[in-house]
Amino acid sequence: MLAAEGLVDLLPNRGAVAAQLSAQSIADTFEVVAGLEGQSGELAAERISEGELSEIRALHYEMLAAHTRRDLPTYYRLNATIHNQINAAARNPVLAHTYRTVNARLQALRFRSNLDESKWSRAVQEHERMIELLAARDGARLRKLLIAHVEHKRDAVLALLEANDAAPAARSLA
């Protein structure tokens, strides 16, 4: 199952190893996730209940507290829960399943991209706006914001990978 989802590679007579994603594969996956998140946001804005919105707001405030403490693991867990709850509020099981499957390929990469303080702060500001648009039931703007949010995450991840690839070359030149 993990191989079918692209999370591991099966090697003959060697077993399974974690899949190595190319920069292009990562960019392609983020492109799909951005579209799925945008659609989820638009549908959630139309379909979310007041109770669901209250729960997302509460999670958002907990996430802000984690950001203030610079508690990245708690922040990331709450962030992922918020995105999953927006996805669930769209009330489309096919969309939810597809999102979970594709997004699983990016989980570790998304976490590491918040190590840059300015990018982390921008993500928090985008989350503030997401809550506002969700509460206003503005699906069109929420779609655009979620797509931009995921694209910013993609750019941060790709920049991090490029910097990591460049570091060994720079050390060898020294």
Pick the more confident residue, 11 or 79. 79
Asked, for residue 71, whether it belongs to a domain, the answer is yes
Residue 96 maps to which CATH number? 1.20.120.530
Residue 85 lies in a domain: yes
pLDDT band for 111, please (50, 70, 90 cuts): low
Q: What's the total number of domains in the chain?
A: 1
pTM comes to: 0.83
Query: pLDDT band at residue 160, thresholds of 50, 70 and 90?
Result: confident
* Domain presence at residue 33: yes
Q: Which domain holds residue 127?
A: 21-154
Give the model's pLDDT for residue 39: 98
Q: Is 172 a member of any domain?
A: no
* Tokens encoding 41: 């946001």
Burial of 134 (0-12, 13-18, 19+ CB in 10 A): buried
> Averaged over 62-88, what is the pLDDT?
95
Q: In this structure, is residue 163 part of a structural domain? A: no
Residue 77 is assigned to a structural domain of this protein: yes
List C-alpha distances in Å: 139 to 45, 70, 136, 146, 173. Answer: 5, 31, 9, 10, 51
Q: How far apart are CA 33 and CA 38, in angstroms?
A: 8
pLDDT tens digits, 132-157: 999 999 999 999 999 999 999 999 88
Whether residue 113 lies inside any domain: the answer is yes
Q: Is position 73 within any domain?
A: yes
Query: Which segments of 15-69 does DSSP mark as H helices, in order?
Result: 23-47, 50-69
